Amino acid sequence: MYIVTATQKGYYANKIIQEGASFQIKEISDFSSNWMATEDKDLLAALESNGKCKASPDLGLDAESAAAEIALLEDKVGELTTINEEAEAQNLDLKKQIEAVEAENEKLKKQLTAQKGEVTKLQNQLAAKEGK
């Protein structure tokens, strides 16, 4: 058994493996450089010999730097969440404004229809007077 890490989502041993997950493979031939990485020295040696070597990426962060990076990302997520909430509120306001405009439009259409009816009535009265 060899320990590997998924560098992207993959499928192994009838299971979906999520990116970043560590798991075990049974055989060296099970290793896929397309979506797996490893730091397992025995596996690395075997892979080097057949040209399939892909070591796990070194992020170059110590625990303190990683914690600071996580904090920055959490702040950014908070900012983006706030922006998203504000956008959703604006969207709701715009939907209400659209509904109000549509209601006013319907009211004006009814007034226009009534006025057209009145014009037709007056035209008919005028035609009747002229016809006499």
Query: Mind listing the pLDDT tens digit for each residue in 2-21?
Result: 889 998 888 888 889 999 99
**Measured between alpha carbons, how far is 29 from 46 in angstroms, rounded to an integer?**
10
Total residues found in the chain within this entry: 132
Surface-to-core class of residue 36, CB atoms within 10 Å of its CB (0-12 exposed, 13-18 middle, 19+ buried): buried
What confidence category does residue 105 fall into, taking pLDDT thresholds of 50, 70 and 90? very high
| Averaged pLDDT score across all residues of the chain | 86
| Top-confidence residue, 13 or 100 | 100
**Measured between alpha carbons, how far is 123 from 13 in angstroms, rounded to an integer?**
85
What confidence category does residue 56 fall into, taking pLDDT thresholds of 50, 70 and 90? very low
Residue 38 · residue 31 · CB < 8 Å: yes
Q: Which of the given ranges, 27-41, 54-68, 107-121, has the highest pLDDT on average?
A: 107-121
How much is the pLDDT for 60? Answer: 55
Per-residue CA distances from 110 to 97, 98, 104, 106, 121 (Å): 20, 18, 10, 6, 17
Tell me the pTM. Answer: 0.41
pLDDT above 70: residue 101: yes
Which CB contacts under 8 angstroms, 24+ apart, belong to 115-119?
Answer: none
User: Locate tokens 């259409």: which residue?
Assistant: 109
How much is the pLDDT for 122? Answer: 95
